[in-house]
Structure formats: C-alpha cells, structure tokens
C-alpha cells in the first residue's frame, strides 16, 4: 500500500511538472473493472480516477464539467440504490473510495474559489442532482444547471462526459461522474494538458449547452417532417432539417451556418488543427505537428467548420488503408433509433463498414458489450452486418477479400449485478447495479484514432449531447490499437457465433 501511494504521488508530481510546460500533451485514459486478471494492461495509460481527481485538484481559475449524472459518493445504506446492502469491506474492495476522492477534490476546488460550472442531465434515481447541488449550495463561485434535451429534440439526454480546467486541460471519454465508472466499468478516454487551442473549442460547445439550459425551448423549437429520416420530430428552429426560409436565427454564440437542401450538412473538409501533441505515456511520441479534430452531437450544436459526430465516426472508418484493419469499440450497437416515438432506421455506420470491406479489402473488428442491460435487437443487427462477409465472397466478379469480425465483450459476473439486499432478502448479487460492462466508445484505423462519448445508436448522434476527439497522431493511434487488441485477444471477448445467450446469461465466467 505504501509503495503504491509513493508511486501515485510521483506520478502526480510528474504530471504537474509536465503541465507547467507550454507544450500540448496527451495521455490515453482507462478504467478497468476489478477482478479481471486475464486482461493485459497497456503501459503508459493513465487511470480515470487519477485524471479526474487531478483535474479538480489542480484547477486554479476555472473548471467546467459536463456529466450525464452524478454518483461519485456510494450509497450502500440507501434501500433505493443499486449499491444497497454491500458491506463496508466490499465497498472498499470495489474501489468506491475513488469516487469519494474525486468529489472531495471538487469540494476543495470550490473552497479555493475556483469558478466552477456543472452541467448535467436531470440525473438518475435515487439521488438525481444531489451531488452537484451540494457542491453549488451557498457558493456563488459554483453554478449548477440541468439541461433536458427532450425539451429541444423530443428525446435525448446530456450524455457527454467532459472536464475542462483553466481553459487548457481537457478530459473527453466514456466515464460518467460515478464511482463505479472508476473501478467497476471498462472506460476509455483521452486527457489533454497544456492545449488551450483545443480546450477553448470544447468550451464553445459547453457554452452552447449552457445557453440552451437558460432558454425557453418552446420559443425556439419546431416540429417538422424530417426528410432525411422520414419522420416527424421536434428540432431547434435553426436546424438544417428545417427548410432555409423557415429557420430562425440561432441564439447560440457560435453555430454552423451552411446551406444545404435536406438533412444536416456533411462537411467534406472539416476543420483540422495542426498541433504538436507530445505523448509521454507512449514509446512512439513525436514532436511533429499532426492533424487532430473535434466533433459534436447533436448537429445543431456544431459550430464553425466542426462536423457532426456521426460523420467523424464514418470518416474514421473510411480512413482505413487498403488491406488494413479498423477497430471499433462500443457498449451499444443498434441500426435504428432506441428512444424515439417513431422508429428510425439507421445504416450510416453499417454502410461505411461494408464499403471499406468491399472497396479496400479491409478487416473491420467490432467489439460490442454483452451485459445485464443488453439491447435485445443488437444480435439481429450485428448478424445483418456480419452478412457482408457472405456478400463479399458471393460472386467471383466481386474481387472482395475484406471481412468483418465481431465479438461480444463479457465482463465476469455481469449477470450478478444489482443491490445485495432487496425487500429484506439477499439477492445473490455480488456487484452493484450498472457495473461489469465495457462502456468505451472509440474507433481506430491504421492512421486515425477517434475517442468519443456516444454509443453507436441513432439517438446518440441526432438528439443527444456528445463530444469526440480524433487525431492522426501516430503515438495515440498505436496506443489505442494496443488497448483494443488487449481486450480483443483476452478471454473476455467472445465471437458472436459462439455466444449462446440462453445458456450463457446464467453462467458466471
């Protein structure tokens, strides 16, 4: 224990010294659930809990946080909580203390009079917005707002997970402000320090969300027939899904102004910033400037020449070289909408994948989570996508040698999660609810890495707030590939053909 504390302190001191320099630096960030002994660790990758705590602890002027919900403080004594019934010893073993440490760092930042803005969805049961409300209570330097995207788009939530410190340091990734996201859920993100050029652009997106939260949505929304998706739906009145003559002037300080007939404009040459990003955690670090980008969802919140997040995912897939491999990691995969009243068919990513299999003879590896809250239709859509292999080899005229490989990621004991006690009786669960899942959302080709906050479902790109960072930086590309391969080659990744759901769900791995 003493040794690990010393190493941790040295790491923080090292990071502090690095961040005092004017150079932009990046580290990939992971959370790895406990009790996964057969997963190889990738050297140089930081821990999510350390990074979030460090961001709060080292903020001197300003800290902006976008979160879906807050549960940094565990609730084993609350009968309404998925943590209920676990002992103090079990909570220590689960690593619940890491969440409390992040909350305490935020509390101390507020005491130091750091200007803090906390933006989130309405939260989740049972605590909802209790934690950010507590941080803001009685402190004029801490502002806390909730934003209901349903009021603007008819459905959707604030789903982005973003921290911005002192207009120069940024975390973008899949980790929620939840203690479980630090030690019981597999997460992937990127941590950028000394990068004001990037941080300020992410802050524009934050400001756009903040503005929405303070406006009366009924004065700025319209229900229209969306010609792109062939459904009637509510959108902001400046949306490009509305005909130009019927659009309103956007109340946002910055937003996309591009003429387009139907649907949202696809930017064929989105803004890329040439910046030298050093990667101290990688053996492949380079000082040469390489192209990087940001992308955002929903598209109505894009600005300048920044593209919508869906297009950035597609461009990453299509960046794969001939006979090379593109790797895709997601919790959820669905070729349709999930939460809209009227179902929307969505084939954008599937089409991009099939295209590179045919045209570039590429291999596409897809890793999808199999867990307690698995979406039932996922199987069918993945098998539909997998059929590309049959089409590829269906004719001697095709000259197609690409392929799609799909695996489910199964974290041990995923089917034994939930409160330990319910109705006064033991449940047999051995981990808290909404844990034991691979929650990361990223893609990496042989030349380009894309790290995001959105699941691969229609809703996350068109009615839900999400942010991604992407880059052609060779060190980040190489290390993200190593993270994927460690998961893909582990015993926790099961080919879809081998996974028999009826028997598997009730057998602990």
Instruction: Give the domain range for residue 407.
Output: 227-504
Element (H, E) at 295: strand 290-297
Q: Is the pLDDT of residue 410 over 60?
A: yes
Looking at residue 503, its pLDDT comes to 39
CB 177 within 8 A of CB 48: no
| Residue whose tokens read 């010609």 | 227
- Tell whether 34 and 82 lie within a shared domain: yes
Asked if 240 and 179 sit in the same domain, the reply is: no
pLDDT of 438 > 70? The answer is yes
Same domain, 238 and 168: no
Reported as a pLDDT band with limits 50, 70 and 90, residue 5 is very low
pLDDT of residue 423: 95
Which whole number is the average pLDDT over 209-232?
95
184 lies in the same domain as 236: no
Residue from 48, 41, 320 nearest 171 by CA = 48
Per-residue pLDDT tens for 161-188?
Answer: 999 999 999 999 999 999 999 999 999 9
Check if the beta carbon of residue 319 is closer than 8 Å to that of residue 354: no
300 and 439 belong to one structural domain: yes
pLDDT in tens, 86-128: 999 999 999 999 999 999 999 999 999 999 999 999 988 888 8
Domain for residue 321, yes or no?
A: yes
Question: E-assigned strands of 68-131?
Answer: 70-71, 115-120
- Give me the pLDDT at residue 499, please: 63
Say if CB 437 and CB 158 are below 8 A apart: no
CATH of the domain at 356: 3.30.870.10
What pLDDT sits at residue 1?
Answer: 39
- As a whole-number percent, the residues of the chain with pLDDT over 90 amount to 83
For 253-269, the pLDDT digits (tens) are 766 555 544 567 778 78
Q: Is residue 214 part of a domain?
A: no
Those residues with Cβ within 8 angstroms of residue 3's Cβ, 6 or more apart along the chain or in another chain: none
Residue 67 has pLDDT above 70, yes or no: yes
* Final residue in a domain of this structure, among 206, 237, 266: 206
Q: Average pLDDT in the 269-283 region? A: 92
**Which of 372, 355, 349, 383 has its CA nearest to residue 455?**
349
In this structure, the answer to whether residues 311 and 260 fall within a common structural domain is: yes
Span of 39-43, 343-347, 395-399 with lowest mean pLDDT: 395-399
Judgement on whether residues 151 and 36 belong to the same structural domain of the protein: yes
Let me know whether 268 and 191 are in one domain.
Answer: no
- Residues 347, 450, 201: CA angle, nearest 5 degrees: 110
pLDDT of residue 508 exceeding 90: no
Q: What is the average pLDDT across 400-415?
A: 97
Decide: 445 and 471 in contact? Cβ < 8 Å: no
pLDDT in tens, 455-467: 999 999 999 999 9
Whether the pLDDT of residue 303 is over 50: the answer is yes
Confidence grade of residue 397 (pLDDT, cut at 50, 70, 90)? confident
Of 159, 175, 206, the domain-final residue: 206
**Are 380 and 471 contained in the same domain?**
yes
The 8-class DSSP code of residue 248 comes to: P
Structural domains counted in the chain? 2
β-strand partners of 143: 117
Among 2-11, 54-63, 347-356, 480-489, where is mean pLDDT lowest? 2-11
- Average pLDDT of the chain is 92
pLDDT at 22 over 70: no
Distance of alpha carbon 175 from alpha carbon 410, whole angstroms: 18
pLDDT exceeds 50 at position 73: yes
* 284-293 pLDDT tens trace: 888 889 999 9
CA distances from 426 to 79, 96, 320, 503 (A): 13, 21, 50, 24
Domain boundary among 144, 171, 206: 206
What pLDDT was estimated at residue 4? Answer: 39
């Amino acid at each position: 224990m003493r040794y690990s504390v010393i190493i941790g302190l040295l790491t923080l001191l090292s990071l502090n010294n690095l961040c005092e320099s004017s150079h932009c630096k990046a580290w990939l960030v992971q959370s790895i659930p406990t009790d996964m002994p057969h997963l190889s660790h990738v050297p140089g990758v930081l821990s999510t809990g350390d990074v979030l705590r460090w961001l709060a602890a080292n903020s001197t002027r300003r800290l902006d946080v976008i979160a879906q919900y807050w549960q940094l403080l565990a609730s084993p004594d609350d009968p309404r909580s998925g943590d209920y019934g676990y002992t103090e010893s079990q909570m220590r073993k689960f690593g619940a203390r890491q969440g409390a440490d992040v909350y305490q760092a935020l509390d101390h930042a507020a005491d130091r009079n750091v200007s803090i803005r906390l933006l989130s969805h309405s939260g989740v049961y049972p605590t909802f917005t209790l934690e950010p409300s507590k941080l803001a209570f009685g402190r004029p330097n801490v502002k806390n707002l909730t934003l209901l995207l349903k009021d603007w788009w008819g459905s959707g939530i604030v789903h982005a997970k973003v921290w911005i410190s002192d207009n120069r340091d940024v975390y973008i990734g899949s980790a929620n402000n939840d203690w479980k996201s630090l030690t019981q859920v597999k997460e992937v993100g990127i941590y950028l320090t000394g990068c004001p050029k990037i941080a300020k652009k992410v802050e524009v997106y934050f400001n756009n969300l903040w503005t929405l939260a303070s406006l009366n949505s009924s004065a700025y929304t319209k229900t229209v027939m969306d010609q792109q998706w062939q459904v009637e739906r509510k959108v902001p009145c400046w949306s490009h899904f509305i005909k130009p003559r019927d659009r309103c002037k956007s109340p946002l300080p910055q937003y996309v102004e591009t003429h387009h007939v139907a649907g949202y404009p696809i930017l064929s040459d989105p803004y890329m910033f040439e910046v030298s990003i050093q990667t101290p955690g990688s053996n492949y670090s380079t000082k040469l400037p390489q192209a990087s980008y940001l992308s955002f969802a929903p598209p109505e919140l894009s600005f300048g020449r920044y593209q919508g997040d869906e297009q950035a995912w597609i461009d990453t897939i299509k960046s794969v070289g001939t006979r090379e491999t593109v790797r895709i990691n997601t919790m959820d995969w669905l070729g349709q909408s999930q939460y809209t009243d009227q179902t929307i068919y969505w084939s954008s990513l599937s089409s991009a994948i099939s295209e590179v299999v045919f045209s570039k003879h590429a291999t596409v590896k897809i890793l999808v989570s199999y867990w307690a809250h698995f979406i039932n239709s996922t199987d069918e859509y993945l098998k539909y996508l997998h059929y590309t292999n049959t089409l590829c080899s269906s004719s001697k005229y095709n000259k197609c040698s690409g392929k799609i490989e799909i695996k489910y990621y199964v974290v041990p004991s995923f089917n034994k999660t939930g409160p330990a006690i319910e109705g006064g009786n033991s449940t047999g669960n051995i981990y808290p609810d909404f844990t034991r899942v691979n929650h990361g959302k990223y893609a990496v080709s042989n030349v380009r890495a894309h790290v995001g906050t959105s699941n691969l479902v229609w809703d996350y790109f068109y009615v839900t707030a999400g942010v991604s960072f992407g880059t052609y930086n060779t060190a980040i590309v190489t290390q993200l590939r190593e993270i994927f391969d460690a998961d893909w080659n582990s015993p926790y990744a099961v080919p879809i053909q081998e996974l028999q759901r009826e028997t598997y769900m009730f057998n602990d791995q």
